[in-house]
Amino acid sequence: MRKNLKNTTYTFSVLLGVVSLVFFLFTVLPGDPARMMLDQREDSETLEAVRKKHGFNLPIYQQYLWFLNDLSPIGWHSSDPEHVSAHQNRPVLVVFYKASSGHFLLKWPHLRESFQQQGQRVNSIIGRVLPNTIILALAAMTLALILGITLGVISSIRPGSILDHTITLVSTLGMSVPSFLSAIAIAYLFGFLWSSYTGLPMNGTLVEWDDWGESKRIAWENLILPAFTLGIRPLAVITQLTRSSMLEVWQQDYMRTARAKGLTLRQQALRHALPNALNPVITSASGWLASMLAGAVFVEYIFGWNGLGKLIVEALDTLDLPVVMGCVLIIATFFVFINFAVDIIHAKLDPRIKEKQ
């Protein structure tokens, strides 16, 4: 119980640190947010109205506190129509306390409004593309886990063989090639040069509309190349980790006992060796799954996949800072909670960890 409370406190402390870092990092950037929102249509009165509406005229510490208030699921909403918190237009779940000056409420975290898409909440913008990135990351990680564990087990069974050297060489190459380079090469080769044989498009997103925009379909074929490209590096890492972990497990006393009992090589690997070799693989996979949300930037942009990574590139190109901040916070939140979940999974898989807790 104490360990769980400590982990929970640590998790939210990390999130608070990330939120603070993101806010102050983007606040000190040169440029006037109000001018970014108005582009060429600004005049002094309009600029002042925008600054007042979004709180850009407040001191930094007050902007930071209202930023935390926006992100917190429990926050204060002012009744003053000229106050920054009165313009957030966020969905309210439960109102706890009402007063003449405002009220405390339970709400969804509010990520502000886009600078470039006037009136569009960042929550809505991210919500439209986040499922595509999650599907892409899960597909890539599933591919990496299945192939990586399989190749790692095969390599560990016959160490020093030609097959083992080949798998090690290919996995090392996969770890060393940057994602943007492999994305360009795979898109060109399989999506353009050999497309008549593969039947795969060079770019595309998960949902496609017909030429008249009247009906849509799920284009699963568009997922194959970006998922394979995104999964190359974690596939290589998982292969190497599984191989090294399995080689260590093969030397344990209980594996000698399993061999003495007359179990087949397949039974030894699947029943005894692999379950005890998965801990470092799970740790690595969790880290890669979280980092894929950020690492998918180049892959999504090159393949035209309408996801979080492509959105970040477009927002950076137009200096849409609230969208960039929202994407960074979403990625950080996924990363923190995935690692928190992995700690729990480790305690279930390894009794020694549970005893230490």
Q: Is the pLDDT of residue 178 over 70?
A: yes
227-243: pLDDT as tens digits? 999 999 889 989 988 88
pLDDT of residue 336: 82
Beta bridge partners of 92: 107
- Strand locations in the chain (E): 74-78, 92-98, 102-107, 207-209, 216-218
Alpha-carbon gap, residue 119 to 111, rounded angstroms: 13
Give how far the C-alpha of residue 222 lies from the chain's centroid of Cα atoms, to the nearest Å: 20
In which residue are the tokens 């480790």 written? 346
Is 328 within 8 Å of 22 (Cβ atoms)?
yes
Query: Which among 343, 243, 325, 327 is positioned nearest to 283, based on CA atoms?
Result: 343
Q: Is the pLDDT of residue 147 over 90?
A: yes
| DSSP letter assigned to residue 87 | G
What would the two tokens of residue 272 be?
């005894």
pLDDT of residue 186: 92
Query: Which among 273, 268, 189 is positioned nearest to 228, based on CA atoms?
Result: 189
**Is the pTM here over 0.85, yes or no?**
no
pLDDT of residue 346: 66
Identify the helix (H) or strand (E) that includes residue 250: helix 221-250
Mean of pLDDT values over 142-163:
89
What would the two tokens of residue 88 be?
């957030």
End-to-end CA distance of the chain: 9
pLDDT of residue 85: 59
Is 92 within 8 Å of 103 (Cβ atoms)?
no
| DSSP letter assigned to residue 251 | T
Which distant-in-sequence residues (6+ apart) come within 8 Å of 251 by Cβ? none
pLDDT of residue 121: 87
Identify the helix (H) or strand (E) that includes residue 276: helix 274-277
Is 170 within 8 Å of 160 (Cβ atoms)?
no
C-alpha pair distances (Å), 276 with each of 86, 329, 345? 55, 35, 14
Q: Helix, strand or coil for residue 96?
A: strand
pLDDT of residue 80: 66
303-342: pLDDT as tens digits? 989 888 889 888 888 888 889 889 888 888 888 888 777 7
106-139: pLDDT as tens digits? 778 888 888 878 778 888 999 999 999 989 999 9
pLDDT of residue 331: 86
pLDDT of residue 143: 92
Q: Where are the domains of the chain?
A: 32-107, 123-356
241-275: pLDDT as tens digits? 888 888 888 887 777 787 777 777 777 777 777 88
Quick one: 171 exposed, middle or buried, by C-beta within 10 A (0-12, 13-18, 19+)?
Answer: buried
pLDDT range class, residue 189, cuts 50, 70, 90: very high
The chain-wide mean pLDDT, for the chain, equals 80
pLDDT of residue 125: 92
Percent helix, percent strand, percent coil in the chain, to nearest 5: 70, 5, 25
Q: Is the pLDDT of residue 89 over 80?
A: no
Structure-model confidence comparison of residues 7 and 3, the more confident one = 7
Structure-model confidence comparison of residues 233 and 39, the more confident one = 233
Q: Helix, strand or coil for residue 314?
A: helix
What would the two tokens of residue 184 be?
């360009």
**Homologous superfamily of 123-356 in CATH?**
MetI-like (1.10.3720.10)
Q: Helix, strand or coil for residue 74?
A: strand
Q: Is the pLDDT of residue 141 over 80?
A: yes
Q: Is the pLDDT of residue 4 over 70?
A: no
Mean of pLDDT values over 186-208:
88
Give how far the C-alpha of residue 294 lies from the chain's centroid of Cα atoms, to the nearest Å: 6
Structure-model confidence comparison of residues 308 and 286, the more confident one = 308
Q: Is the pLDDT of residue 293 over 80?
A: no
pLDDT of residue 282: 78
Q: Is the pLDDT of residue 54 over 80?
A: no
Query: Which among 172, 278, 296, 277 is positioned nearest to 231, based on CA atoms?
Result: 296
Mean of pLDDT values over 175-180:
83
Alpha-carbon gap, residue 30 to 23, rounded angstroms: 14
% of residues, the chain, pLDDT over 70: 84
